[in-house]
Amino acid sequence: MAVDVSDIREWLIDGARSSPAPADMIDALCRRLTQAGIPLFRVAFYIRTLHPDIFGRNFIWKPGEPLQVGTADYDVVDSPQFIVSPIAIVSREGREVRARVGDPASARYPIVEDLSAEGVTDYIALPIRFIDGSAHTTSWTTKQEGGFTDEQIDALRSIMAPLSRLVEVIRLSRVATTLLDTYVGNRAGEKILGGQIRRGHTENMNAAIWLSDLRGFTALSDRLPSETVVDILNLYFDCQVAAIKAHGGEVLKYMGDGLLAVFPIDEYVGDSQQVCARVLEAARETRAGVEAMQYAIGDTIERFRFGVALHVGQILYGNIGGGSRLDFTCIGPAVNLAARLEKLTGRLRRTIVASEGFAGICSGGWRDLGEFPIAGFSKAQRVYGLFDEEAMAAA
Amino acid sequence: MDTVELEKLINWLESGALTPVEVLSGTCERLTAAGVPLWRVGVFVSTLHPDAFGRSFVWRPGADVVINTAGFDLPDSPQYKRSPLAILYASGREVRYRLDDPESRRFPFFDDMREEGVTDYIALPLHFTDGSTHATSWTTKAGSGFTDEHLAALRATVLPFARLAEIFAMRRTATALLDTYVGNRAGERIWAGQIRRGHAEAMQAAIWLSDLRGFTALSDRLAARTVVDILNQYFDCQVPAIRKHGGEILKFMGDGLLAVFPIAKDGGDLGEVCARVLGAAREARAGVDAMRYPVGEGDERFRFGVALHIGEILFGNIGGMSRLDFTCIGPAVNLAARLEKIAGKLSRTVVASAAFAGVSSDGWTELGEFPIAGFSKTQRVFGLQDEMALSADAG
């Protein structure tokens, strides 16, 4: 029996614009194919990504169930199961793989056992070919007795070209977001994708500011091989980035061992007390992480101390740079003050210090460390430390 | 109308073609072969880019496709507001005029088209899956204009055409984002898949580290918006000079700028690279010398310092979790940072390490030996002979 999928093809060619979200598109596609006379059971899409931690994403559809979206990390690539799987063969060689339950020629695919346990009779993996030359995988299964008919297989093949174009578009838009999240920051990235990519695009923002650095880093980086230094920095930044992100902050910049992050107040809940409390939690979490950090160099275990200054104030947030090479960052006297406070942490033997502005909002646990003259400010500035660091400071 | 030819065209578009120019010329040639008597065909797509609103591609039979970039002033220009495309963008619908229709007289663009002998015009929207609208325009010189059959063929063509245009636009956006916020060479590497933290490589490079003298005091004293404006102008003096001379801007740090100029593995182009770096430094110096910024009654003038060094750097991804920086690290970078501080003390604009000045002694004068943190021996520092007068003045 012929299977007519011409309207599905047209829908795909027009960008499936009635289902703009990728999950909705896959769900709508599978339901339309079923209605067109292809009794699909499990359908899966496996798309490789460009992401620092994620090798690929998978989307798994089953009739009557919500679409499942999962990720695979880079370890998957080298696993023996993956290398012999039809998913890997299709994306590596760009060709189809068919496996029928009960067909001796299909027995070499370990997946057949799992499929037959589920009652599947037929499986075909078809390549999604991107115009950049790479291939990705879709797999289609049925529980129909005797497996897919030739007409059903031809119908599936016939939708692959328009489907591939659409998947490539979706993947590229995901890649653009990931690149910005990775190298610019998530909030900044959202603003850039929303069109704020020109130098004039800056805005005033009320934010808590986090400025930190690793004590003795320059001496360390003169003494150790660069590969070791990078490794230490990565571990050290891991301690901070996770805590900052989990508490609603955005890492704006790395400068050697320095890190600048902001926690927007207006945009968040407008509650500066709540924001500052979360900033302090992130600082305590980071402190615990850095204290626990150990790095073996030769026979010795290297341990680390860092300092972080917390302040709250108005910043100018946006694009700064020359020509078409820009930075999405923040600037202002509040940032300068945080940078100067941060330099005091070492002298005061403290990990966490706060400005009067920050300590005033986020009450409890602060000890007045005295007034310090700070460049750029006519009056001496009061600096605050935490009670739970008294012992450390006295040591 | 040759429907077989038309079907072939649609299949070709669906199966993906190579470059934007190939897609446009291939489409127009195939439509012509199928019996659509095309004259000028234009495609207009906007992408996210700091300098450009979008690009236009114009095809004419037997000629190369002409590509133009439109600036951000385009949407406000009278030429744009009075074009038939403005109607398409506003309505999201096709716009058709026969050029003998008196109504068509209100569009100045059609005057040019009539001169070329055009009789009929249709603009068809490209609907992207993100909801944005882009445009194509199709003209003919056929005496009777486009037939209904011709129009149906064009409407069928723009659907798969839109998917390819969207893929090209997304790719361009993603690479523009990397060029803008990460740097062009780093961006190329990331785009090719070097997005994980392990991805870093050692390379020889000339290092450029600069900052604006007295910037911190300036940024305490002036409004943040003024500071951003000054920084943008100041970076404009450096970024184009660095890029033109083959350098890559890796990082802005407040007023600081870090750039690298890669040197071939065998060091064969060492002399040539250092000459380019020095060329860029002289150009940036001239630019900053000429820079004036009105503040209150007077004009603010600026001095900067740049340290030049050559050495091995580790170039790649550093950061925490999935928030990374594509940057460089190593003792050579530390030395450049310390040299840069010496430039200020010596009232010099351009200073170089012995390693850099030793490549071509031309124009360099030794400024003495200085103790530098991280180095057991004192380091010789070099200045430019053409700055003698400058440092004598300041001295």
Best CATH choice for the domain A6-183 from the list 3.30.450.40, 3.30.460.10, 3.40.50.720, 3.30.1330.40? 3.30.450.40
Q: Decide if A227 and B314 are in contact by the 8 Å CB cutoff.
A: yes
CATH 3.30.70.20 fits domain A187-394: no
Indicate the DSSP class of residue A50.
Answer: -
Query: Distances from the Cα of A358 to the Cαs of A167, A174, A333, A353, in angstroms?
Result: 47, 37, 15, 10
Task: Please give the pLDDT value at position A269.
Answer: 57
Count how many pairs of residues, chain A against chain B, have C-beta atoms within 8 Å: 261
Instruction: Calculate the alpha carbon distances from A17 to A24, A157, B168 in Å.
Output: 10, 21, 18
Distance separating alpha carbons of residues B44 and B64, to the nearest angstrom: 17
Residue listed under structure tokens 């297989």: A153
Over range B88-103, report the average pLDDT.
Answer: 96
β-strand partners of A141: A123
- State the smallest CA–CA distance between residue B376 and chain A in angstroms: 11
Instruction: Report the share of chain B in percent with pLDDT over 70.
Output: 97
- Torsion, Cα B27 B33 B39 B41, to 10 degrees, reads -10
State whether A13 and B254 contact (CB < 8 Å). Answer: no
Instruction: Say what the pLDDT of residue B125 is.
Output: 98
The mean per-residue pLDDT over the stretch B22-37 comes to 94
List the Cα angle A252/A255/A259 in 5-degree steps. 50
- Residue B135 confidence (pLDDT): 97
Cα(B108)–Cα(B27) distance, integer angstroms:
27
* Chain A interface mutation, best of B12, B163, B204, B207, highest count of A Cβ atoms under 10 Å: B163
* Closest in B238, B320, B331 to A238, CB measured: B320
CA distance B41 to B61: 9
On whether the CB atoms of residues A169 and A19 are closer than 8 A, the answer is no
Of B15, B227, B252, the CB nearest to A321: B252
In chain B, ranges of CATH 3.30.70.1230 domains: 185-394
Contact: A222, B334; criterion CB under 8 Å:
yes
Nearest residue of chain B to residue A327 (CA atoms): B181
Locate the chain B residue with the closest alpha carbon to A176: B174
Q: Count CB atoms within 10 A of the CB of residue A27.
A: 18
Q: Quick one: tokens of A295? A: 């790095």
The dihedral formed by the CA atoms of A375, A376, A381 and A385, expressed in degrees to the nearest 10: -60
Strand partners, B124: B136
Are the beta carbons of B24 and B164 closer than 8 angstroms? no
Minimal Cβ distance to A20: which of B129, B180, B254: B129
Quote the tokens at residue B294.
Answer: 């009105």
Query: Chain A partners of B163 at a C-beta cutoff of 8 Å?
Result: 13, 15, 162, 165-166, 169
Chain centroid, CA B97 distance in Å? 37
B149: CB partners within 8 A, 6+ apart = B1
B164 within 8 A of A169, measured Cβ to Cβ: no
- Residues in chain A closer than 8 A to B227 (CB atoms): 316, 331-332
- Can you tell me the distance from the alpha carbon of B374 to that of A44, in angstroms, rounded to the nearest whole number? 56
Task: Kindly indicate whether the domain formed by B185-394 is annotated with CATH number 3.30.70.1230.
Answer: yes
Please tell me the predicted confidence (pLDDT) of residue B394. 47
CB within 8 Å: B252 and A327: yes
Looking at residue A121, what is its pLDDT? Answer: 95
Distance from CA of A1 to the nearest CA of B (A): 24
**Structure confidence at residue A395 (pLDDT):** 65
A202 contacts in B (CB within 8 Å)? 225, 228
Query: B356: how many CB neighbours lie within 10 A of its CB?
Result: 23
* Residue B395, pLDDT above cutoff 50: no
Q: Do A226 and B202 touch (CB under 8 A)?
A: yes
User: Exposure string (b/e) for A299-312, b if CB count within 10 Å is 16 or more?
Assistant: eeeeebbbbbbbbb
Alpha-carbon torsion (A54, A16, B41, B54), positive or negative: negative
Nearest to A305 by CA among A294, A290, A295: A290
What does each of the 395 residues of chain A score in pLDDT, given as a tens digit? 689 999 999 999 999 998 889 999 999 999 999 999 999 999 999 999 999 999 999 999 999 999 999 999 998 888 888 888 899 999 999 899 999 988 888 888 888 888 889 999 999 999 999 988 889 999 999 999 999 999 999 999 999 999 999 999 999 999 999 999 999 998 899 899 888 989 888 999 999 999 999 998 888 888 899 999 999 999 999 999 999 999 999 999 999 999 999 999 976 556 899 999 999 999 999 999 999 999 998 899 999 999 999 999 999 999 999 988 999 999 999 999 999 999 999 899 999 999 999 999 987 789 999 999 988 788 899 999 999 888 776 76
Lowest mean pLDDT among A211-215, A337-341, B2-6, B356-360: B2-6
DSSP A361-376: HS-SSEEEEEEE--TT
What was the ipTM of the complex prediction? 0.88
| Residue of A160, A183, A316 for testing the chain B interface, max B β-carbons within 10 Å | A183
The better pLDDT of the pair B267, B119 is held by B119
Conformation bin of residue B330: beta by default, left when phi > 0, alpha when psi is -120 to 50: left
* Partner-chain residue, chosen from B170, B313, B324, that has the shortest CB–CB distance to A176: B170
Q: Is a pLDDT exceeding 60 seen at residue B17?
A: no
Task: Measure A319 CA to nearest chain B CA, in Å.
Answer: 9
Write the CA distances from A223 to A331, B84, B201, B331, B332, integer angstroms: 33, 66, 19, 8, 12
Using a CB-CB distance cutoff of 8 angstroms, which residues of chain B are in contact with residue A249?
none
CATH topology of domain B3-181: Beta-Lactamase (3.30.450)
Where are chain A's structural domains? 6-183, 187-394
What's the gap in Å between the CA of A177 and the closest CA on chain B? 9
Cα Rg of chain A (Å, integer): 28
Task: Give the residue from chain A lying closest to B187, CA to CA.
Answer: A179
Amino acid letter at B16?
G
DSSP secondary structure string, B151-206?
HHHHHHHHHHHHHHHHHHHHHHHHHHHHHHHT-HHHHHHHHTT--STT-EEEEEEE
CB atoms near residue A180 (< 10 Å): 24
pTM of this prediction exceeds 0.95:
no
Q: Which of B319, B326, B331 lies closest to A222 in CB terms?
A: B331
Distance from CA of B198 to the nearest CA of A (A): 9
Strand pairing report for B120-127 and A381-386: unpaired
Taking contacts as CB-CB distances below 8 angstroms, the residues of chain A near B313 are: 226
Inter-chain contact B320–A181, Cβ cutoff 8 Å? no
